[in-house]
Chain A
Amino acid sequence: MPDSMTATAVLDEPLTGAASIVNDCTIHVATVNGSGSMSSNSVLMRSIFQMGVPVSGKNMFPSNIAGLPTWFTIRANKDGWIARKKEVDIMVCMNASTAREDVEALQPGAVCIYDAPLACKGIREDVTFFAVPFAKLAGELSQDSRLRKLLTNMIYVGIVAERLGIDRDEIINAIGKQFKGKKKAIDPNVAAIDKGIEYARENLPKQHHWRIERMNATAGKIIIDGNAAAAIGAMFGGCTVVTWYPITPSSSLCESLIDYMKEYRIGPDGKATFAIVQAEDELAAMGMVLGAGWAGARSLTSTSGPGISLMAEFAGLGYFAELPGVIWDIQRVGPSTGLPTRTAQGDIFEVYYLSHGDTQHIALIPASVAECFEFAGEALDLAEMFQTPIFVLSDLDLGMNNWMSDPFVYPTKPYRRGKVLDAKQLEELGGKWGRYLDVDGDGIPFRTLPGTDHPMASYFTRGSGHDAHARYSEKPSDYKATVDRLAKKHETAKQFVPPPVIDRRADAKVGFIAYGTTDVALEEARHQLRSEHGVETSYLRLRALPLTADVKAFVEAHERVYVVEQNRDGQMGDLIRLDVGDIQHKLRKILHYTGLPCDARSITDSLLQMENDGTRVVRIGLGAEATTQTIGED
């Protein structure tokens, strides 16, 4: 064995000269699932954040409780680029089963800190290796084998932090935050950090290529995942009924909501201003949401693709019978036994057309934790305003990873509760009203709630077999009037859903369209194109379905428009194609669907290639060099 347990680093050749790179590096940690590395990785990420440096963290974990490989990538970037970056600068190898693969994927010049028995050093010549005898170091800290395992992770944090020059104080603060001030947990972890720092000082050569130096770009910012942000938004948005069935990556949305509601939504009488039910499946969760919406509550459920499938029949009923309710879809790779812990934007079609018959749903698409917060309240409003299921399309990357953000803004807009007639209004109308009458010409009828104390309040709810007064009808003209009015309602929604965010550059021939988490990579790609290649691009970021007129206008205004999304077929691209009709030849597709979040370099390279050779569809491949794979016409 080339490395013994006690061997220290021998290969530490400066690779890129003396100049150090400040506040711009990517750290990739490979561990075994269930080893407790999540808290150490969070501590490392947070300590960089507290140094004032913009940072993002992405957890790539398996569908497993313990034993399978897991990775965590931290990207620190002074300019605030927080998308996933493929190129790794500092690798921490703690997992025997992936060590070779992890090292082989590194780019030349990277640093690899590894657990000594893994013998990574021999794998390649163009990477700087440091072997660390973690077992021995942890053994000096505790006799308890379980604790030793956890402390091992904190030791690598100490080592990496020391090499990067992160202040010890900030690590200690981050630990305090991570363990919520509990001294019993804090003390051994601090000891482990110090062990790592001391080891690095004494054994690793003084060569600090990548540095974290204090700056002031994170003051006043928060770190939060999208699911927790959505939960907070729903709570401040007046959500009252929550139903759910556990599924990764959506569970933490309702779990956070439970915690927050218990703390902030108990009335002065000690009673809850909410009800949360763990349903027996997503079918039931959806039925409960619609039943609650029918009876006037602001109701919500959250799930992922497989759950959406089970909700299909109810979604149709919700659409035709006009029932409010909010459904969060935290998208993941399909199908149910697919890659449940990997991210994708593959449910666009599934959600937009969910159910049988002529259904089309309103969907909101947040791209940031701040939008998760904002859209959570917005969706509850839209559900009541439009009396229909409102979907919110998030994804695993947004929902479960930690993101930096400005603090959320307290909502001041009053709830919009839609067209509901109460007993008094019914009296004023002389009891004359029709549940499905389009009184205002916007396709949105009035409703009453069960329990309304007026003899004319009631109506009978059923699918589409009714006339404008909710009387049973199978007349062709009644059915047609119903579905045509629903189409009108969908049209009206275009004026109320969050409009796209458009950055139109005067001399740009090329435009991008993207949505959701593709946004962070796309903005960085635009920056790369501008600064490295002098290519100016416009950008339209979709925030909702149905598509608004802005989309066609945007396509019209550019020679070529690249729709970038994280699924194989370019689902949104196809919706746009239908929408823009005769100018669809201007559309191109850049598709990223590896289960990992999209990165900027892949978009940049794809665009340059496509502009150069006229390729219309690029499906981004893996690896640092061959980023693109071209599959003919679409």
Chain B
Amino acid sequence: MAESTLKLPNEAAVPKENRIGLKALDYQGGKSTLCAGCGHDAVSNQIVRAFYEMNVKPEKVAKFSGIGCSSKTPAYFLGRAHGFNSVHGRMPAVATGAMLANHHLISIGVSGDGDTASIGLGQFMHLVRRNIPLIYIIENNGVYGLTKGQFSATADEGSKLKTGVVNDLPPMDLCALAVELGCGFVARGYAGDPKQMVNILKAAVAHDGLAVIDVISPCVTFNNHDGSTKGYAYSKEHDELLHQIGFVQSYEQIEIDYEPGTVREVTLHDGSRLLLKKLEEDYDPSNAVQALQRSHKAIEDGAMLTGLIYLRPEKKSFISLLNMSDKPLWSLTEAETRPPKEALDQIMRELM
């Protein structure tokens, strides 16, 4: 299998302190209570690393989740950020409200495949439609972990539970759905490929708007056996890379030379650059039709398609459409939000 990341000259050892003077430890959260080996814990570590390397001040971050093992994880990373473990499938609404109140927050949400593809499907779709600035991670294990291993709606057709029960229904591809609904940033990662995930996460931090990341995150307790299609062994074997990914920070002066036509470069909202190196095909992540075609083919082939599936960084976020005051709404004072007495007098006169 090909390397999922591009070798870049900036890949020196990770510094002990980042550019805002914080240590990796400052990005840690509480101790995880998940099963040892759970894919979700790997993703938490990847989030810690991406935010550390992106020099994001944790106090500026707000974490959201629904309900599930996956949704517990915001307690296990970025302990210095406020977190909100809400109700099952409804995190999009809570995150939307918080972003309206304070659009300066850097928001990250963690959901599960049950949380998003079943109970929360409606809210997920409207979140995509609104394009709320939020990194929305689906830790996808094909089962409901927290309620002890029932199939979720992303379970592959023919995959088997430990009990031998076979799933007869087709899987929902949440990436394809997000593309269909016009999401400006759609990616799939694999918890077992930290390098690729960290690059995807960094790009998501740099993106202005909703970033949907479907990460295959094996449940070692309920879906990691023979016959399961979202376990470690199966995922490793069926990982199909769209491209190799490299990420270059906005402040990095890195010259990269590659053979012409082999690397696509996308500039993100904050000026950082995403490099996508062509593998066996020339995949254009700005082409929604190609993205959907490729996603469908992967399902037919029983493959796990990873990489940046769709990217339109220029799409306007909901926040920018609202023409809100630059100051976060929560911080507006009485002088700014209570119209003067003359305004009430005028309204009253009109009603007389």
Contact = CB atoms under 8 A, between A and B. Distances in A.
A264 B87 contact: no
25 contacts: A220-B352, A222-B352, A232-B344, A235-B339, A240-B332, A267-B325, A273-B332, A283-B123, A287-B123, A288-B94, A288-B96, A288-B97, A294-B94, A295-B62, A295-B97, A295-B98, A295-B102, A297-B97, A297-B330, A299-B97, A317-B87, A449-B330, A452-B59, A453-B60, A458-B83
Interface stretch (A404-412, A520-528, A557-565): A404-412
Nearest to A229: B351
A267 B330 contact: no
Nearest to B347: A232
A552 interface: no
Given A295-B101, A458-B59, A283 B90 contact: yes
A271 interface: yes
Contact of A317 (B57, B75, B86, B334): B86
A79 interface: no
Contacts of A288: 93-94, 96-97, 100
A81 B330 CA distance: 43
Contact of A294 (B79, B98, B338): B98
Nearest to A275: B100
Interface string A198-241: 00000000000000000000001111100000001001111111
Contacts of B98: 291-292, 294-295, 450
B326 interface: yes
A272 B344 contact: no
Interface in B323-352: 323-326, 328-332, 334, 336-339, 341, 343-345, 347-348, 351-352
Interface string A452-483: 11110111111100000000100000000000
Given A287-B90, A291-B97, A296-B101, A224 B351 contact: yes
Contact of B338 (A236, A449, A450, A459): A236
A449 B86 CA distance: 16
Contact of A455 (B80, B96, B323, B337): B80
B339 A296 contact: no
A275 B329 contact: yes
Q: Please provide the 7 A-B residue pairs with the shortest distance between their CB atoms, ordered closest to farther.
A: A287-B93, A291-B97, A296-B330, A297-B101, A450-B82, A288-B97, A295-B101
A448 interface: yes
Given A273-B329, A472-B75, A287 B94 contact: yes
A456 B95 CA distance: 22
A290 B97 contact: yes
Interface of A: 220-224, 232, 235-241, 243, 260, 264-265, 267, 269-275, 277, 279-281, 283-297, 299, 313-314, 317, 407-408, 410-411, 414-415, 448-455, 457-463, 472
B352 A221 contact: yes
B104 interface: yes
A175 to B, nearest CB: 16
A291 B59 CA distance: 17
B105 A451 contact: yes
Contacts of A450: 62, 81-82, 98, 102, 105
Nearest to A271: B325
Given A269-B325, A295-B105, A297-B100, A451 B60 contact: yes
Contacts of B104: 451
B84 interface: yes
Given A238-B337, A272-B324, A289 B59 contact: no
A267 B336 contact: yes
B322 interface: yes
Interface residues of B, number: 60
B85 interface: yes
A354 to B, nearest CB: 14
Nearest to A276: B322
Contacts of A408: 344, 348
B85 A407 contact: no
B92 interface: yes
Nearest to A406: B348
Contacts of B325: 267, 269, 271-273
Interface in B32-87: 33, 57-60, 62, 64, 74-75, 79-87
Nearest to A221: B352
B122 interface: yes
A265 B60 CA distance: 27
A260 B95 CA distance: 26
A238 B338 CA distance: 6
B126 interface: yes
Contacts of A453: 57, 59-60
A264 B322 CA distance: 16
B335 to A, nearest CB: 10
B48 to A, nearest CB: 15
Which among B64, B80, B87, B322 has the highest number of chain A CB atoms within 10 Å? Answer: B87
B132 to A, nearest CB: 10
A224 B349 CA distance: 12
Which among B80, B324, B325, B326 has the highest number of chain A CB atoms within 10 Å? Answer: B325
A283 B90 CA distance: 8
Contacts of A286: 93
A221 B351 CA distance: 8
B97 A294 contact: yes
Contacts of B339: 235-236, 264-265
B118 to A, nearest CB: 15
B105 A243 contact: no
Given A265-B339, A272-B324, A284-B92, A292 B97 contact: yes
A240 B80 contact: no
A188 B332 CA distance: 48
A285 B90 CA distance: 11
Contacts of B352: 220-223, 407
A284 B90 contact: yes
Contacts of A296: 101-102, 328, 330-331
Contacts of B75: 460, 472
Which among A272, A289, A454, A461 has the highest number of chain B CB atoms within 10 Å? Answer: A461
A277 B337 contact: no
Contact of B97 (A223, A235, A243, A264): A243
Given A284-B96, A314-B90, 11 more contacts: A232-B344, A236-B344, A238-B337, A240-B329, A275-B329, A287-B92, A291-B97, A295-B99, A407-B352, A408-B344, A461-B85
A314 B88 CA distance: 10
Contacts of A314: 87, 90
